[in-house]
Structure 1
Amino acid sequence: MRIDMRGLVVGLGLTLLSAFSAHAAASCGDNTGKPATGEPIVIGAITGKTGPDDFSNSTRAAKAYFDCLNANGGIKGRPVKYLVEDDQWNPETAAQLAAKLVNDEKAVLMVGNSSFVECGANADFYKKSGIVVVAGVGVPRECFFAENYAATNAGPRVSTLGAMGYALDQLKAKSVVCIGPNIPNVGTWSCDGIKSLAKEKGFTAETILMDPGTADSTSIILQAAASKPDVIILGLPKGVTIPLLTAAEEQGLNQTIKFLSAASAYDLSVPGTIGAGWDGNFYVNMEFNDLEAATPDNQNWLAVMDKYGQPSDPRDTFAQAGYLAARIAEKALMSLDPKDITRESTSAAIRQVKGFASDIFCAPWYFGDGQPRHNANSTTRMAVSEGGKWKVISDCAPSPDPELADIRAFEKNAGIAP
């Protein structure tokens, strides 16, 4: 019954979103209304579609935007040929696909990448190949510590720490258990951030790492609750988070412990799926704006998804990320002579992107030319599950992640406000 209801809620959510945004006309490129017919510009992407969870929402949204762009004149007459490959959550496969896109297909840029494994597998290769990645969803640490790799999302660590900041400031938490996936440079990286903040702020923190594919949800939850923490923070994919919340409710823990999550759980289907037992008890960090925000660019994202995406394509935070990555790529490419769009010229144009404003972001996005790493999106919001929906409960606030010290120093010197 729970699975059927989840499908019903997802379908209803997509229907409501479609109705909400149907009045808006999708705006892309020069809005010529005429298809681009020139020589294609090859852009690649790698995503984890098949594996423990479908993580392809970012590339789906990027494709929708590029399709809209191509229907409206493309890049000064040239269409984007967007090639998306599935790494199947396998680093070796990810490396093979990167070589295919970069060496064989001659991609000038990578856009919308979203994967748990490809950053680590390919970051050095991208640098050696002179190609820049404007990723949609960076997950492991390597996505945020590479010279040629910049994501539009905040990342699991920054998002998890954003949730922890709210727990400290608003929920007055003094003890926490962080649950993350046992994936290299993902779960440990995020939960270690909680520990670093705990040393700085003086609260207690424990970590549990779990295998997303085989762990027993009830055992994990009981282990987390054993120390009677004020809050439990989840840094896991949505498909893993929901069973943990179900197990927690079965144990009555939703009434005694506050649960929070990184942005991976910020999906319109989640409040209805987990039910009324979590009203006011399950909080999520938002790396971007409210999914239903009536602001111009958010409405354009929804309009693009309605007209150029598939009805089954999720309208979630990861789709927002892919849309933004495609728009950033468009901005850079539009600055070039259409006859001279090469990997070198495209990379140079991306490096010059500064102050990219969208009401989907809390703060303007920038590449950070010359920096050894990138994390431009580090200012986030919070929402709580209430009445089958998400209720936004905070203004934009900088993540308190201690590891952002170098990013904050760069922003200060460059005159960029977080």
Structure 2
Amino acid sequence: MLKTLKVMAAGLALSLLTAMSAHAAASCGDGSGKAAEGEPIVIGAITGKTGPDDFSNSTKAAKAYFDCLNANGGIKGRPIKYVVEDDQWNPETAAQLGAKIVNDEKAVLMVGNSSYVECGANAEFYKKSGIYVIAGVGVPRECFFAENYAPTNAGPRVSMLGAMGYALDKLNAKSVACIGPNIPNVGTWSCEGVALLAKEKGFKADVILMDPGSADATSVILQAAASKPDVIVLGMSKGVAVPLLTAAEEQGLNQTITFLSAASAYDLSVPATIGSGWDGKFFVNMEFNDLEADTPDNKNWLAVMDEYGQESDPRDTFAQAGYLAARIAEKALMTLDPNNITRETASAAVRQVKDFKSDIFCAPWYFGDGQPRHNANSTTRMAVSEGGKWKVVSDCAPSPDPELKDIRAFEATMK
């Protein structure tokens, strides 16, 4: 029954978005409508499509944008050949695929990556190979602590801390339980951030790590609720978070505990799927703009998805991330001589991206040339489930993650 409701809600959300954006024409490249016919520029990506959940929405959106770009002149006449591989949530597979794309396909950049395991498997390899990554969705800590790896999203820890900051400031929370996946440098890293912020405020946080592929949702929820926290913060993908919320409602916990989540649960289908029992009681962090925002770039993202993506491709926060990653790559490559686009020149161009503005971001995105790590997106919004939809309830606010001190210091030098 739950699966049927999810499918129906997702279909309704897609229909509404298609109707909203069908009148807009996708804008990409030089807008000439002339297909690029030169020598292809190889760009790679690794994503976790098969496994505990389909985590490939970023690469689907990046592909849609690159297809649009190729139909409108490409990079000064040269089309993008976008090579996407599925790591199946397996680090060994991710490492093999990384070597294939870099060594065999001779990619000049990696763009739109979205995986729970790929950063840890490949970050050092990318550095040794001299290839840069404009990721769509970084998840583990390695995605944000690597010299050659720069995601467009905020990441689970920064996003969860954004949610936790809202719980402290607006919901008067005095106790918390954090649920994260037991994936190395994902759940522990993120929930430790929540616990650290709670400690700074003078109260204890409980941390529960779960296997996203096989854990019993009811057992996990009861464990988290045992200490009777004011709020429970989730750091799971949408496909795992929804069953947790269903289990919580079955136990009546939606009446006594407020639930919050990282941006991974920010999908148009979720409010209708979880139902009215969560109205005003389930808050999510938004790493990007409202999915239905009537702003130029957000409307263009939707138009690109409608015209060049598949109808089944989700229009969610991770799709926004992939679209932005592709746009940033386009901006970098457009600065180059089309006859001299190599891994070296492409890498140098990415390092010089300093002020990429989009109404989908809260603040301009930058690479941070010379910095040992990258987390440019760290200013986020919040929304609440209400009436089968998301209602935005906050303006853009910096994440209170204590680990961002070095990022804030670098940004101060950029003014």
TM-score by length of 2: 0.99
Structure 1 residue 203 displacement after superposition = 2.4
Residue type of the alignment partner of 1:382: M
Residue type of the alignment partner of 1:371: Q
- Structure 1 distance, partners of 2:131, 2:97, is 14
Instruction: Show the 5 A alignment for 1:364-403.
Output: 364-403=364-403
2:354 corresponds to = 354
2:333 corresponds to = 333
1:274 corresponds to = 274
- Residue 155 of structure 2 corresponds to residue 155 of structure 1: yes
- Structure 1 distance, partners of 2:4, 2:179, is 27
* 1:61-100 Cα deviation digits (max 9, x unpaired): 0000000000000000000000000011111111111111
CA RMSD of aligned residues (A): 0.5
2:143 corresponds to = 143
2:205 corresponds to = 205
1:215 corresponds to = 215
* 1:26-56 Cα deviation digits (max 9, x unpaired): 0001001000000000000000001110000
* 1:140-178 Cα deviation digits (max 9, x unpaired): 000000000000000000000000000000000000000
Residue type of the alignment partner of 1:196: L
1:60 corresponds to = 60
Tell me the SS of whatever aligns to 1:383.
strand
Which consecutive unaligned segments of at least 5 residues does structure 1 have?
A: none
1:363 corresponds to = 363
TM-score by length of 1: 0.99
Instruction: Show the 5 A alignment for 1:74-85.
Output: 74-85=74-85
- Structure 2 distance, partners of 1:5, 1:155, is 28
1:179 corresponds to = 179
1:49 corresponds to = 49
- Residue 289 of structure 2 corresponds to residue 289 of structure 1: yes
- Residue 95 of structure 2 corresponds to residue 95 of structure 1: yes
Structure 1 residue 5 displacement after superposition = 1.8
- Structure 1 distance, partners of 2:103, 2:246, is 46
Tell me the SS of whatever aligns to 1:137.
coil
1:130 corresponds to = 130
* 1:97-141 Cα deviation digits (max 9, x unpaired): 111110111000000000000100000000000000000000000
Structure 1 residue 214 displacement after superposition = 1.1
Q: Could you list the structure 1 runs, at least 4 aligned residues long, displaced by more than 2 angstroms after superposition.
A: none
Structure 1 residue 414 displacement after superposition = 1.7
- Residue 4 of structure 2 corresponds to residue 8 of structure 1: no
Which consecutive unaligned segments of at least 5 residues does structure 2 have?
A: none
- Structure 2 distance, partners of 1:22, 1:260, is 33
* 1:343-369 Cα deviation digits (max 9, x unpaired): 000000000001100000000000000
Structure 1 residue 277 displacement after superposition = 0.2
Paired-residue identity, %: 83
- Structure 1 distance, partners of 2:204, 2:297, is 40
- Structure 1 distance, partners of 2:226, 2:99, is 47
Residue type of the alignment partner of 1:359: D
- Structure 1 distance, partners of 2:48, 2:257, is 33
Instruction: Show the 5 A alignment for 1:198-277.
Output: 198-277=198-277
Structure 1 residue 209 displacement after superposition = 0.3
Structure 1 residue 198 displacement after superposition = 1.6
* 1:217-255 Cα deviation digits (max 9, x unpaired): 111111111111000000001111011100100111001
- Larger CA deviation: 131-140 vs 202-211: 202-211
Residue type of the alignment partner of 2:249: E
Structure 1 residue 200 displacement after superposition = 1.6
Structure 1 residue 202 displacement after superposition = 1.5
Count of aligned residue pairs for this structure pair: 415
1:314 corresponds to = 314
